[in-house]
Chain A
């Protein structure tokens, strides 16, 4: 019963083309044999090979993955707690402030978050002596802070949609409130928590500005490395890196989607 006009359909096509042409172009040029990244010199996979021999990239990648995994896990824990508190605990003291602090990081420009956290770390160092060296821990703290906002939003949305009588039924049958969360709530919001973790992981892996502010000498994340290279212009090895990234993300997301669709069709 729902129909689309031709106008809407053409905008849809244009929109998706707009979104995907740059990605396709990068993949295309990653196989370019020429050092001049956008002038076609023949088909080659040499840039992919060079990627794996580049120590700096490998180190940066490892650091980025460590930070992303740690901050995603912390963000999921804190974000779920925050989501639970905001949806299930009714009015509590300081709720407005809490709610504001949870949603503000979603929109705050990164330069502000980055700057503010760096100044915090510097001040902390002056007063407490920690952190002496900025690096893994400071970047992880920063990423956890803004990622938990995203997890909280996702968890809140799933919790609001959940039938609250399930939790009441558990209590009615003799389950203490704290245990209800473990028995009933968490299993049912688990998909949201997983989605939150993945989102936090991606956001962390992707962050450039905040990491630039709060990292220290010797701790380069992957985006920081990429940025330092692309400042000078388009380079072929970054083309290869970008293509790898695009392919990995696309394949992962699409297969996840297929799996979910198949599950839905079976039940």
Chain B
């Protein structure tokens, strides 16, 4: 990431910052629309080697952005450059780019090994069999390498998609929701692979709508909301903003009136509402609330059965950031 602080995104093309040295992916004033529908509106950013997460709720324009920078779509306006080259009508560039697409479909009649070897042959690698073996090993699929892709689970298909994207060891790796369908262990392993790629100097751009995934991947983020770049910068600052914002929580407990009377003394409490089986709270200091509530419930002689967030959805987080 070329900008380390969380900043509102630049919008107008003319206002786009100059492309920093070392930027491998550059979008300047890029818009994409389908008829009357605007999918992306005047987006500019530049990123360099390392892991960058593209965040946003469903429908925010993440997949459109990734498709634009891999040449699957042509921008309606603006410029897209990857590794200093134009993407559209430039198939030679694919020698240096790997993509894990959004769609799950694969060739069902091929084995995993056959599919990755096929990809290696299309990249003109000197030893496709060895390259496929290496890629399948990286995604821990060697045991299932000779099974037909039609028999694979969603998580296994995700790993095959990752293997085909990195079989040629690309300089830029673009991944659209790569952890979707993978179990927790597979997620950890795949994230290790992405980190490994980034450590060799590759640019890894990963889209996700799951905040906790992104948190573990790296600190650089781009945030898209409603087709606009809402923020870019360091993920930790987003986390801090999230912790600072008012939060709505549901407290499940016995004797809610007594608990409410105790809670109202806490700093940061904005609103308290009694409900069946507990109460709903809005607080400006969620951290202090989380620490205090078990103690206050115990002091009130009420059994606390749970505390749950009511606005943890990524969409609400992003909308808060935009506002």
A and B held together in a complex = no
Residues of B at the A interface (CB closer than 8 Å) are none
